[in-house]
Amino acid sequence: MKKSLLLLVALVTTLAFAGTACAWWDCYEMPPAPKVVCKDEVLCKGQAKGAIKLCGPCAPTIKYAGKWITMCVCPKPEAAKPAKKAKKVKK
């Protein structure tokens, strides 16, 4: 008897919380989504140069130089595709 009473109270409490959550969610209105503006942006620029002497008796010295740039580029909008023409059916 005691276990079934506890089970009944737990079930009623769960349904009460679920009903309250559903009632609150139904009254909540979502705000309109803001329009996203995309701009190309440079994240990182860099350059390096130097020389590295390799090990060994006849090892060469390697010289290097380089530049790099990392950018965040917005995707290009897709061009409007022409509408497909319907094929004519011969009778």
pLDDT tens, position by position, 5-48: 888 888 888 888 777 766 655 566 777 888 878 888 999 999 99
**Is residue 81 within 8 Å of 88, Cβ to Cβ?**
no
pLDDT above 60: residue 76: yes
CA-CA-CA-CA torsion sign (55, 60, 61, 64): negative
What's the pTM? 0.37
Q: Name the pLDDT band for 70 (thresholds 50, 70, 90).
A: very high
- The span from the CA of 89 to the CA of 72, in Å, is 50
Q: Average pLDDT in the 49-76 region?
A: 91
